């Protein structure tokens, strides 16, 4: 049976990983999402720190968050992965793309074989999560950090059908610049600090914790809207 696609999780920063709601920790949803996988337990989680230069402290934060969901089989996939690292990534149930510089991380993924594995794992039903730069890399286009005076966009994974901006509220200056550079028809989602977005396989966009800002480039004019969390939002995904 063909594996079902799982939602993408786009987070502005790492704080939502430790978010607890009325029905338990946010990351409990990871076990719910993987319950139909015949190879579990145990769940395997992979951390990609290429965007921040593989800073070990951020990996420790990741393992601490995963432990809240009962996931203890974790591995850091470095910028220069070994064959064993890539083998782990190829069967990981949960994959997190860390924050940092989107361009640094993206160029690394393209050069070390990780880009194709990320696409493959998404098709095969793994849960992909991105924090800050990682969230941007799951969208359609991104830019380097810090952004240059003349914003240069580059294509990224495109698993989420829009450009992602993070923790720029309330002005969303760089996201707006990106949408103007992308041209008419471009769509962008702004995720405020402490917030996130769950992108379901059918394209439904679900805010996590805080409202999202949506921008559309309509004939060169930017239109702005707001997407609010549902009242009484449950943390456990369907």
CATH code for the domain in which residue 112 is found:
3.40.50.880
Asked whether residue 177 is assigned to any structural domain, the reply reads yes
Query: In this structure, are residues 25 and 19 in contact, taking their beta carbons and an 8 Å threshold?
Result: yes
Residue 203: per-residue pLDDT: 87
**Residue 140 resides in a domain:** yes
- What does the alpha-carbon distance between residue 211 and residue 179 come to, in Å, rounded to a whole number? 20
Q: pLDDT (tens digit, 9 = 90+) per residue, 187-229?
A: 999 999 999 999 999 989 999 999 999 999 999 999 999 999 8
What's residue 28's pLDDT? 87
Q: Total domain count for the chain?
A: 1
Q: What is the tens place of the pLDDT at every residue in 153-195? A: 999 999 999 999 999 989 999 999 999 999 999 999 999 999 9
Task: Kindly state the tokens that stand for 59.
Answer: 């990996």
Residue 54, domain member (yes or no): yes
In 3-state terms, what secondary structure has residue 123? helix
Q: Which domain holds residue 151?
A: 8-227
């Amino acid at each position: 049976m063909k594996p079902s696609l799982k939602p993408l999780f786009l987070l502005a920063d790492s704080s939502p990983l430790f978010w607890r709601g009325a029905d338990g920790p946010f990351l409990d949803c990871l076990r719910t999402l993987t319950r139909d996988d015949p190879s579990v337990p145990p769940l395997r989680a992979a951390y990609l720190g290429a965007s921040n230069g593989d800073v070990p402290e951020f990996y420790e934060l990741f393992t601490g968050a995963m432990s809240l969901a009962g996931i203890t089989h974790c591995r850091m996939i470095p910028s220069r992965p070994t064959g064993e690292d890539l083998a782990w990534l190829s069967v990981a149930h949960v994959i997190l793309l860390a924050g940092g510089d989107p361009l640094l991380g993206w160029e690394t993924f393209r050069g070390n074989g990780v880009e194709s594995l990320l696409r493959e794992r998404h098709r095969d039903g793994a849960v992909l999560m991105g924090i800050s730069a990682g969230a941007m890399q799951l969208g359609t286009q991104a830019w380097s950090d810090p952004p240059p005076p003349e914003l240069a966009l580059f294509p990224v994974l495109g698993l989420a059908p829009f450009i992602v901006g993070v923790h720029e509220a309330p002005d969303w200056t760089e996201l707006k610049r990106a949408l103007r550079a992308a041209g008419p028809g471009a769509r962008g989602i702004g995720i405020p600090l402490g917030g996130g977005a769950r992108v379901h396989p059918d394209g439904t966009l679900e805010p996590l914790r805080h409202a999202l800002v949506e921008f559309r480039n309509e004939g060169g004019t930017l239109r702005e809207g707001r997407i609010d969390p549902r009242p009484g939002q449950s943390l456990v995904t369907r």
